[in-house]
Every structure is written in C-alpha cells, then in structure tokens.
Amino acid sequence: MINDTNVRLGKTRSVIRELFEYGKRRKAEIGEENVYDFSLGNPSVPAPPEVAEELHNIINATDPVLLHGYTSAPGDPRVRQIIANYINRRFSLSLDGDCLYLTCGAAASLTITFNALLNAGDEVISIAPHFPEYKVFVNHAGGVFVPVRAKENTFMMDINAISSAITPRTKAVIINSPNNPSGVVYPESDIIGLCRLLEEKSAAFGTEIYLVSDEPYRELVFDKSIKVPYVMNYYARSIVCYSYSKSLSLPGERIGYIAVNPAMREFADVYAGICGAGRALGFVCAPNLFQQLIAKVYDKTSDISIYKRNRDMLCKALTEMGYQVVPPDGAFYLFVKSPESDAVAFAERAKKFELLLVAGDDFGCPGYVRISYCVSPEMIKRALPAFGALAQSYGI
Amino acid sequence: MINDTNVRLGKTRSVIRELFEYGKRRKAEIGEENVYDFSLGNPSVPAPPEVAEELHNIINATDPVLLHGYTSAPGDPRVRQIIANYINRRFSLSLDGDCLYLTCGAAASLTITFNALLNAGDEVISIAPHFPEYKVFVNHAGGVFVPVRAKENTFMMDINAISSAITPRTKAVIINSPNNPSGVVYPESDIIGLCRLLEEKSAAFGTEIYLVSDEPYRELVFDKSIKVPYVMNYYARSIVCYSYSKSLSLPGERIGYIAVNPAMREFADVYAGICGAGRALGFVCAPNLFQQLIAKVYDKTSDISIYKRNRDMLCKALTEMGYQVVPPDGAFYLFVKSPESDAVAFAERAKKFELLLVAGDDFGCPGYVRISYCVSPEMIKRALPAFGALAQSYGI
C-alpha cells in the first residue's frame, strides 16, 4: 500500500554495504587485524589540518545568527563567487557565482541535476563500469538508465557503442573521471570524440543532449602528467557535479556543488530547473558552516600521496602474482579481472582468505572485482599473502 | 524539453522570498532602520552558547576520519539512541534508535516521508493555513495535495471538514502544531478527535491512513500551561518529522529527524520505505558534525523569551489599534485578519507604510496576513506607529 519501489530500495542493501556488514561480524569473530576489508570507498586519510583550524576560526569570528542561518537556496553568493573564481583560474573560463548551486554532496548534485533535466521516459547513458547508484537516481527522476560497456581491458569509453545507444530520447550522458570503480581517467581525445558525437546526434535528432560530469575524484590523480579535461572547455551543454567528500575527506558532511555551463543557450531554464528540483526534493540549502569552510579551503586536499603509495604497492604485487590489473590513474579503486568468469563466485572464494572484494556486477561490469585501497598501507601489507594464496588456489 | 515542472518551480519565487527581496531593495533606498520587515521565518535569536562550545570540543576531541566520515544512512546509531531516550523520557514511550532516521532538516524529513508513503494519485490532507511548500513536496512525490480550511477565527482543526475530505485515496494527514502561520497549538481533545476519525475512516475504507506531525516549532511554546500532544501517544500509524532549525537556531545547518511509531504493524516496511526514499532522493546521511552536536545539545533551546516578549508586545498593540488577532500559543508568527477581504491588496498598502507582511493566500487562507515576529524588539517598537497609520487608513 505504501511506495513499493522505495520499500524495496530500503530493504535491498547494496552489495558493498552487505559485504561491509559481513566484515564487521567477521572482525568480531577473528580479530580486526585478520580481516582485509577492501569494500568501502570511505577516505582513510584525515582532512587537511586547515579544516579543523578554519572551523574553529569561523565559529569564533562569525555572528551565530548569520553563521547558522539560512543562505539563499543556491548557496551564499560570496562562497559561490570564490568557487567560480577558482574554477576560472584553473580552467580558463569565466563563470560567475550564479552558474553554481551548492549542494549537500555528490549524490544531491546528481539527483537535483537529473530531476531538472529529465521528463518521464528520457534516457541517460552511462559508461559501465559505473557507480551503482546512478541507476537509482535516474529512475527516481523518471528516467531510463542505459549503461554502455567500456572497452574490454582498458575501460576507456567506446565511442561506437555510445553512438549506437543514443536515441531521440537520450537526454544526458553521464561520465565519471577518474572513474569509480576502474580508476581510469578519460584522455582529452576521448572527451573531444564524445562531445563531437553528442553534437552530431543532437543535430541529427533535433534534440538537446547534456553532458553531466560527476567529479568527486577530480583531485585524486597521482601523476602530474595526467590531466582530467574540464568538460566546459569542450561542450556547451555541460554540467559539472562536484563534491568535496574525497578531496577534503569530508564525506559525512555533505558539501559539493553543481556548475552549469553558461555557454548553453538555455542556461536560464536549466539553472531554474536545478533550483526547482532542489526545492522539490527538500534541499533547502547546503550546510552553512561547511559553505563558509569551503570559502577558506577550496584549493586544499588531503594528503593523497598515501593513496598513490597504496596503489603502487597493490598494482605491483597483484601483477607479479599473475592477476590482470589495469593500473588506475586516479580515485582509490583498483578493478581486477576475476580469474573465473563469475566474479561473484571469485569474491565468495576471496572471503575464505579473509579478503573482502566487491564483485563488479552491480557496477554493470561482471567478471571483475573492485578493490578499494583507501585503507592503511599496513593492512595492504598484511593482505598480500592472502592475495597470493587466493591466486594459487586458481593455479595462476 | 527539460523538466517543465521544476523549471517553473525554480522561476516562481515564493511570495515570501519576493517580499524579502523587495525589502532588501527598499532598505538600500531609504535605510535599513526605516523598513519594517516581517517577511521571513529566520530565527533572530542566536544558538545557545553550548552550540559553539560543543562544536569546538567535538572538533578537538574526535579523529577527523571518524568525525567527517560517512555515518550509516539513517544516522549514527549512538546519536539516534540518545535522541530516542530523550523522546522516551519526555513522552513516556519506548522507542529505540532504530525508529529514528536523521535528516538534513524538516524539508528533507517531509520529502522523504512523502516519497516513502505515497503512490501516484494518493491524497495528503493538510489543515489550512499551512506551510506553502507542503504542496510542492506532496506533488513531487506523485501525490495530490488536499487542503482543508481550519475553523474561521480560531484556526483550530475542523473535524467535520476533514472527515468530508477523506477518501479511499487518502494516504496521510499532515498537521503542524504550533502552526506556521497561525501560531495555534492543537489541544489534546482535537488530536484525540482526529485520531478517532482516522481510525474510523481507515476501518470503513479498509485503508491505512498515516498521521504525519511536522514539528519544527515544538519547543517554541510560550506558556507552561500549553502542552503540545505527542501523536505517538494517540495513534499507531504516526510519524514525527522534527527539525532543530528553530529550537536551536540552526536553520542553515540542516539537521533533524524522522521518528516512526513502532506501534504500527507495518513498521518494518515504512522504515524501509524511508531508507529507500532517502537513498533515491540523494540524502546519503545527515551532516556528521551536526549529528555529533545534537548528541550533546538535544535538550537545549535558544532563548525563546525574546519571541514571547515580541508576541506580547505586538498582540497587545495591534489589538488596541483595532486589528483582529488570534493570540498565538507558539512558533513566531501572528496571523492577522485583513481589514479588507483582499489580503494581497492589504499587504500592498502596508508596503506604503514600509511594513512587509505576507498575504495568507499562499498558506491556503486568503483574507489574512502573516507577521513573522522573529525580529528585534526595537524594530517592532519602531514599526508600531506604521501599523497605527495603516489601521487609520482603513478607518478602523
């Protein structure tokens, strides 16, 4: 009698959560240090010290009626302008603060964007492997989720496959680079190819197709030579969904933004749609204290060198053991080919070695497992013999 | 081509916002102190001193990886249990923490609840005057909003009118006591009468009807003799949507909760529906720092004596001037009868006297204006001659 879709959604725990809960039970049984939990994408590195310092400063220096009061729904205009200026300096753009809408984090950025863009039955294309909640968010907004497989072995986008998937009902393509769960960064040539395709298809169908870039991992790139292209430099109908959860290790505080490219002709409508969707979904404003914090630390990051060391240690060791690994450019995930075709069975067997790995099926990519390496380097060291024994059990 | 409903919602500013923006322009023209702005329900009293103290303490004492990390989606179990214990002590109940779901404030509590309960076409009854956004939230969740007028002059609920409005499609009744905009508190006899009616109608139609109590103003009651009944003591299918925005003067920080009555048979489904709706709408968890804060200050309030003094001063003066005023029991609003039948025209004329009052039409109650007295007592004193001149202009 009540809403069945949401009841089911509330009852089905994601595979990731399920595994995490199993891990908690198992740790209680055999000891914390004997379970190698690679299930969650929860930053393991603390926020940079400026976060605590500035929180103290802001609380001390600001009239509490202002500090804890409502901001305008899109966020404090001063904070938005500071973020816009920073985007402009980094990417040679000229946004003003009114192109930004501050949100309660990446998930909110995405649900608000989809609710602004989609009418019932509109299609959203995503490149698999993809973050599993995309489907939930698109469906709630009335849309149809259309995953398109990335190229086998490299996880780069397959422009031909995307081209075949675009229809007159395609309203948006969502990309996520660095990617969860593969860690790949799409190079500029791919972004240019995708944007050209979207322009051609929009013209052919007489439709508008939006490019939504989900960027919680933008700052988590480990080699200076790797550039993450900024979609606004390539495509007018682009929207960037950003979050400070991973870059500043603040996932529980829910702070991020939507940036709408002012180059699109219908900018005013899209921005109004975002304001309307935010209102209808019940997001009154982003948490004010964290808005003020971002104005101070917008260009800081946590110490991501730990993630880089974790990546390098794991990639080297797993490759030497015979696992097939695509070395990730960023984020804190490693997507590893399952030695048997059924990755769910592989992840089950890994549990016998106390290794908690997430099967790729929910990411739209069976045959692989995701390893979250936002963990302590010590745990990785302790886990390596288990990875070795697991490989041996397959005779690789 | 994009979502028209949300574009329109984003473009139509609420009457309250419109007036507030007019006020800002007018203040720039003739000076801040010469405009009497009674438009917004933004707390004017600072958060209690414990808020800043505890924020500093929590930041100093907690590992930042834990403090700023994700909590479970319904909120930190420890914090939920503390709040449940407090509810139990105050209202002689026996909730446990798993009856609570922490949210990003009152609006989120409501959108999540409606998305959990409603299927397309289900009806939600509200008592007018009502908070205007109820309609937006119900409609977004696919529901039909059914306002039922309160009794003329007293703004108490009209049980006969509610009875006539209940149909087999009625899924919920939402009440708000103390009420925005009338300030009335429904006495126990009314709550008992409403609950009896809902039981009769559910039985007659073979349906489940939920009672949703929206309680951001629960702590803002000015006389010890006035009790705000707790719906869980009267009705099994009850859900309380609570927010700390007004009680702790933290509206910009977005922290509140949903409490589901464990006495309802289908508790597990309703709670799962709330978890699922929270997930689909993009609320990952309530801001963690403010979850931890609430665990420390859950029983504190701002100094509400200032609101009481404002109420008393305004009620007395306006009544002496000949205005028809129902003295409010709580919240920080006064709902005043317009001297002419068209309250929009009255509010327009008030602007000539630099008085910013909100016409009741958007609250589903034409013929009245709302005065928000969460302002400085000094502004009220300065405004009284203007109220007098406005009354004289009507010859009252």
Interchain contact, B253 vs A68, CB within 8 Å: yes
> DSSP state, B64?
H
Band of pLDDT at residue B12, cut at 50, 70 and 90: confident
Q: What is the pLDDT of residue A385?
A: 98
Please state, rounded to an integer, the average pLDDT across all residues of chain B: 96
Q: Stretch A286-307: mean pLDDT, rounded?
A: 97
Position B176 pLDDT exceeds 90? yes
Total H helices, total E strands in chain A = 14, 12
Cis peptide before B129 (omega within 30 of 0): yes
**What is the rounded distance in angstroms from the CA atom of residue A366 to the CA atom of residue A363?**
8
| Nearest of B100, B76, B77 to residue B88 by alpha carbon | B100
> Residue B314's pLDDT is what?
97
CB count within 10 Å of CB B78 equals 12
Per-residue pLDDT at B76 exceeds 80: yes
Over 80: is that where the pLDDT of A303 sits?
Answer: yes
Task: Indicate whether B396 pLDDT > 90.
Answer: no
For the segment B307-359, what is each residue's pLDDT rounded down to a tens digit? 999 999 999 999 999 999 989 999 999 999 999 999 999 999 999 999 999 99
Residue A153: predicted pLDDT: 86
Q: Where are the alpha helices (DSSP H) in B206-281?
A: 267-281
Q: Average per-residue pLDDT in chain A?
A: 96
Testing the interface with A: which of B1, B5, B6, B303 to mutate, by most A Cβ within 10 A? Answer: B6
CA nearest neighbour of A186 among A84, A71, A328: A328
Tokens 């950025």 found at: A109
Judged by DSSP in three states, A44 sits in coil
Q: Which chain A residue has its CA at the smallest distance from B104's CA?
A: A283
Chain A contact probe: residue of B1, B3, B258 with most A CBs at under 10 A? B3
Q: Report yes or no: A225 and A198 within 8 Å, Cβ to Cβ.
A: no
Instruction: Please indicate whether, in this complex, the C-beta atoms of A252 and B10 are within 8 angstroms of each other.
Output: no
- CB atoms A283 and B108 under 8 Å: yes
- 3-class SS of residue A183: coil
Interhelix angle B133-140/B106-117, nearest 10 degrees? 40
Select from A128, A163, A166 the least CA-distant residue to A147: A128
Q: Which of B59, B64, B280 sits opposite A56 (nearest CB)?
A: B59
User: How high is the pLDDT of residue B300?
Assistant: 97
Query: Region A237-264: what's the mean pLDDT?
Result: 97
Flag if B280 and A56 touch (Cβ within 8 Å): no
pLDDT of residue A190: 98
Contact A239, A101 (CB under 8 A): no
**In this predicted structure, what is the pLDDT of residue B40?**
87
Residues B394, B387: Cα–Cα separation, whole Å = 11
Q: Distance of alpha carbon A304 from its chain centroid, rounded?
A: 16
What pLDDT score does A232 carry?
A: 98
- Please compute the mean of the pLDDT values over residues B63-81 and round it to a whole number: 95
Is the pLDDT score of A1 beyond 90? no
Given a cut of 80, whether residue A313 has pLDDT beyond it is yes
Of the two residues A90 and B42, the one the predictor is more confident about is A90
Select from A232, A238, A233, A211 the least CA-distant residue to A127: A211
Closest CA relative to residue B82, chosen from B69, B67, B95:
B95
Nearest CB to A273: which of B6, B110, B249? B6
Cα–Cα distance, B98 to B259 (Å, whole number): 9
What burial letters (b/e) apply to A272-281, b meaning 16+ CB within 10 Å? Answer: bbbbbbbbbb
Contacts of A136 in chain B (CB under 8 A): 279-280
Residue A14 reports pLDDT greater than 80: no
What would the mean pLDDT of B381-395 be, rounded to a whole number?
97
A vs B, Cβ pairs < 8 A, gives 262
Contact B59 A55 (CB under 8 A): yes
pLDDT > 90? residue B17: no
Does the structure show a pLDDT above 90 at B24?
Answer: no
pLDDT, average across residues A227-251: 97
B2, pLDDT greater than 90: yes
Domains of chain A: 4-47+303-393 (3.90.1150.10), 50-297 (3.40.640.10)
Please tell me which of the candidates A4, A64, A282 has its beta carbon nearest to residue B47: A64
Nearest to B276 among A10, A104, A108 (CB): A10
pLDDT for the residue B16:
85
Contact B59 A52 (CB under 8 A): yes
Helix (H/G/I), strand (E/B), else coil: B94: coil
Distance from the Cα of B41 to chain A's closest Cα (Å) equals 10
Mean pLDDT of A319-336: 95
Cβ contacts of B119 on chain A, cutoff 8 Å: 1-4
> Cα–Cα distance between B55 and B92 in angstroms, integer?
30
Asked whether the beta carbons of residue B6 and residue A251 sit closer than 8 angstroms, the reply is: no
Name the minimum distance, in Å, from the CA of A160 to any CA of chain B. Answer: 26
**A127 DSSP β-pair partners:** A148
The alpha helices in B14-132, defined as continuous H runs, are: 15-30, 49-61, 64-67, 77-91, 106-117
**pLDDT grade, residue B13 (50/70/90)?**
confident
Average pLDDT over residues B52-66: 97
Q: Which pLDDT score, from 0 to 100, does residue A104 have?
A: 97
CB B276 within 8 A of CB B116: yes
- As to burial, measured by CB atoms within 10 angstroms (0-12 exposed, 13-18 middle, 19+ buried), residue A367 is middle
Interstrand relation of A333-337 and A368-372 (parallel, antiparallel or unpaired): antiparallel
* Residues of chain B neighbouring A3 (CB-CB closer than 8 A): 115-119, 273, 276-277
Mean of pLDDT values over B273-288: 96
Of B10, B52, B284, the CB nearest to A59: B52
- In this prediction, residue B275 has a pLDDT band, given cuts at 50, 70 and 90, of very high
Inform me whether the pLDDT recorded for B284 exceeds 80. yes
Closest CA to A227 of A182, A190, A194, A185: A185
Which of A18, A254, A257, A307 is the best substitution to test chain B (most B C-beta atoms within 10 A)?
A254
- Residue A254 has a pLDDT of 96
pLDDT given at position A15: 82
Q: Do A104 and B283 touch (CB under 8 A)?
A: yes
Q: Across the interface, which of A47, A276, A279 has its CB nearest the CB of B68?
A: A47
Residues A102-155: tens digit of each pLDDT: 999 999 999 999 999 999 999 999 999 999 999 999 999 999 999 999 999 899
Mind giving me the DSSP string for A232-249?
Answer: GGT-SSEEEEEESTTTTT
pLDDT at A13 over 80: no
> Within a 10 A sphere around the Cβ of A120, how many other Cβ atoms?
9
Asked whether residue B64 carries a pLDDT value surpassing 90, the answer given is yes
For residue B46, give how far its alpha carbon lies from the nearest alpha carbon of chain A (Å). 5
Picking from A17, A279, A302 by the largest number of B CB atoms within 10 A of its own CB, the best residue to mutate is A279
Mutant choice from B1, B68, B205 vs A, greatest count of A C-beta within 10 A:
B68
| Closest Cα in chain A to B76 | A252
Nearest to A110 among B8, B60, B282 (CB): B282
The pLDDT score that the predictor gives to residue A40 is: 87
Question: Hey, are the CB atoms on A104 and B52 less than 8 Å from each other?
Answer: no
Instruction: Read off the pLDDT of residues B204-259 as tens digits, 9 standing for 90 and up.
Output: 999 999 999 999 999 999 998 999 999 999 999 999 999 999 999 999 999 999 99
* Of the partner residues A70, A269, A288, the one whose CB lies closest to the CB of residue B7: A269
Question: Is B280's CB within 8 Å of A118's CB?
Answer: no
The predicted pLDDT at position B328 comes to 95
